[in-house]
């Protein structure tokens, strides 16, 4: 079964990528993070612990976003410098964006990560809601980032590093389609049925009463 079919067959089969980053692994939050997604009704269909090369991490960011992503990230970084009354050390938004990408890649490849594919109705949006905003400090209480870490853009900028926010989650379905093949082969994805899916998705809830 192709990646496209895995993601697009039916709304309940939407699949999305989640990566528990090195800080999440080192803080022994793997089980807690999985529990948050699992109890929402999402189904885990692939998981592995790996140490990504920096080359793979760069591919993860650049292959999905390309030059347009670098330009936008660079623009935001420049705006952040200006907001603090500072001048960006980079001449162009593209250079700034590339620096951000390399910092992210260094972070993602700094230690073991747990890559996962979660499946379910609106899986991508639901995962992002459970995960919380990119900056932990401003993430809502009750989200993973809001509950389990405290990093900020300001601290990351001061230390000239990426924000340590525990998790990568696909931004949308299109991103998931590009990201999943970077981390998983097709034969590593398990298609199976959970008993709970009858309650979540069965049209008539047949078979509940004896």
Residue range(s) occupied by CATH 3.30.70.141 in the chain:
3-51+111-201
Tell me, what's the pLDDT at 9? 72
Tell me, what's the pLDDT at 2? 54
Catalytic residue numbers?
168
Q: Which residues contact 102 (CB under 8 A, 6 or more apart)?
A: 58
Q: Write phi, then psi, for 117 (nearest 5 degrees).
A: -120, 125
DSSP 168: E
Tell me, what's the pLDDT at 198? 85
Tell me, what's the pLDDT at 189? 98
Which H or E run contains 95?
Answer: helix 93-108
Tell me, what's the pLDDT at 7? 47
- Token pair for 138: 């401003």
As beta bridge partners, residue 118 has 16, 44
Burial tier of 180 (Cβ tally within 10 Å: 0-12, 13-18, 19+): buried
Please report how many Cα atoms fall inside a 13 Å half-sphere around the Cα of residue 111, on the Cβ side.
10
User: Left (φ > 0), alpha (ψ -120 to 50) or beta: where does 149 sit?
Assistant: beta
Per the CB < 8 A criterion, the answer to whether 30 and 47 are in contact is: no
Pairing of the two strands 15-20 and 167-169? antiparallel
Which H or E run contains 38?
Answer: helix 30-38
For the chain, residues with pLDDT lower than 50 are 1, 5-7
CA distance to 82, 99, 114, per residue, from 73 (Å): 14, 10, 25
* Cα-only R_g, the chain: 18
Domain 3-51+111-201 class in CATH: alpha beta
């Amino acid at each position: 079964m192709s990646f496209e079919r895995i993601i697009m067959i039916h709304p309940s089969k939407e699949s999305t990528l989640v990566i528990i980053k090195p800080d999440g692994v080192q803080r022994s939050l793997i089980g807690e993070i999985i529990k948050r997604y699992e109890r929402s009704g999402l189904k885990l269909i692939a998981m592995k612990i790996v140490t990504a090369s920096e080359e793979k991490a760069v591919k993860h960011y650049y292959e999905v976003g390309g030059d347009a992503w670098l330009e936008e990230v660079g623009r935001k970084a420049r705006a952040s410098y200006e907001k603090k009354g500072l001048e960006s050390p980079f001449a162009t938004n593209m250079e700034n964006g590339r620096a951000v990408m390399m910092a992210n890649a260094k972070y993602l490849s700094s230690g073991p990560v747990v890559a996962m594919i979660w499946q379910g109705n609106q899986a991508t949006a639901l995962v992002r809601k459970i995960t919380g905003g990119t900056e932990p400090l401003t993430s809502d209480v009750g989200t993973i980032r809001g509950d389990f870490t405290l990093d900020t853009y300001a601290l990351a900028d001061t230390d000239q590093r990426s924000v340590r926010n525990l998790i990568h989650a696909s931004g949308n379905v299109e991103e998931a389609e590009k990201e999943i093949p970077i981390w998983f082969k097709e034969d590593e994805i398990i298609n199976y049925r959970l008993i709970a899916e009858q309650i979540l998705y069965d049209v008539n809830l047949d078979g509940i009463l004896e």
